[in-house]
Structure 1
Amino acid sequence: MESFGARLKQEREKRGVTLDDIALSTKIGKRFLSALEEEHFEQLPGGIFSKGFVRAYARHLGIDEEQAIADYLSATAAGSPDQAPQNDLPIEVAEQLEDRESDGAAPLPWSLFAGLLLIAALGLALWGFHSREARKEDRAVAHVQTANAPGLAGTQANGQRQPSDVMSGPFIVVIKAREDSWVSIVADGKQLMQEVMVARTEKSIEARYEIVVKVGSVGALDFSFNGKRLPVQGDYEEVKTLTFDVNGLRPQTPKVPSPSAQSLPPGG
């Protein structure tokens, strides 16, 4: 019985189609298409991105898309653990994989990992929400105390903006696609989008607290915050997560050496 990758390659060659043809039409990197045919699944982004690649490949050849995805899932489930796609997947995708593989095809450690990942994400989201609410209450109290202080009422009456005015209120993020890219958008905890954003289209998102954007090709997208265009955020085919709040794009947290490694004296 032919393998998943061999069947894809056979269907492609039977139609006289090259990998370059598919890459040009689907905007998927040729190296990812080669990885599908050669079953080097560890080279794929994983999750919804890999399934999207399989669907686009099958659609270009005119073969059954759902069957192709089912064959891909069977091939990845039958592979050795080191062939499984590795990637920082969105929580919702991890949940889908856990549900799909709960029949027994997935090893126990993966389901435990997905569950822990979900719990950690929910905890962080809840902590972030309460932290923002606490900061808003502190600013509101400070505003009332300043308004009641002697000698400051005139300054406020002259039209100067208060700190609470600066920090509160909605903000807008606009995404413009120069090329096709997978995009997942969560605004204030609500999933707004999880699909391919087609080239020459744009998406405007308004939120009060937080916008999380996960993309499959960050170099294909342009971002602006409250009307101000931001620098390019990465390369084509680079999977990345961007988080915005009322202050703009949050900086990526750099990795720092462990304290124990820094405290070692010279020479061990």
Structure 2
Amino acid sequence: MDEPVNIDAPQLGDSLGAELRKQREIRHVTLKEIADATKISKRYLEALEQDDYSGLPAPVFTRGFVREYARYLGLNAEEMAARYSQLVGAQPETSSTPVLPQTEKKAEGLPFVRIDRNIVGFAALLVVFGAVMWWLGGRADQRRRAATPQVTATAVAPAVAPVVVTEPVVSATAPAESSDRLELDVKVIEDTWVILQVDGQPALNQVLRAGETRKLEAENEIRFEVVGNAGGLELTLNGHRVPAMGPRGKVVRGFGLDWEALKRLEGGTTP
């Protein structure tokens, strides 16, 4: 398989389900992989690809399924969700809203007014009691401050001097932090679909076009979860060229670059 992966543009004749299935097959991704990543039932994903909307939940939920499916494949998620909305139309309003005004009117009445008056009276007592306690507490605090003004003044004066001594130490160690990071330069030779994580967090899921360059930084690891065209990328890790992940057109999964990989590159071996 010498040809690079070809990412086809959506065709006007394709249904929504057919388009999703075609884009998934181009990327050599299984429904199980998408279900595991998006937490959407595989049964719902199959129904989407077959345009079987009778087997799917309410449109408001299905629209979210379409959006997550498209986002995982690196497609325009909002555009695909809009196509689904055009197919199913606007969601009807529920018929339960007219009942609400009647229940609100029944809730109004004299018993409720009596309860409010009792609550207001009790709240007023609490406010008065709280004000008295606050006033008494404030006077007690003033007496304490008046009794010990000189103790705090003498304690603060010597504490300032050590701070001046420690400041040069902080400025001396700060530049060392910039070198404790993995820096990966990515040069795109051919169109390539890439899903990657930086320090365990999703960082990229899209088709990179030939001629693009990317710079990534990490503390511990940069991991390529999926590369649709292994020969389509040139990688340089902290100034060391990384050997190709594979030939043109090959799909590679789970290729990680960490500090151990950098040590092997510095020693002249493959990561």
> TM-score scaled to structure 1, two decimals?
0.39
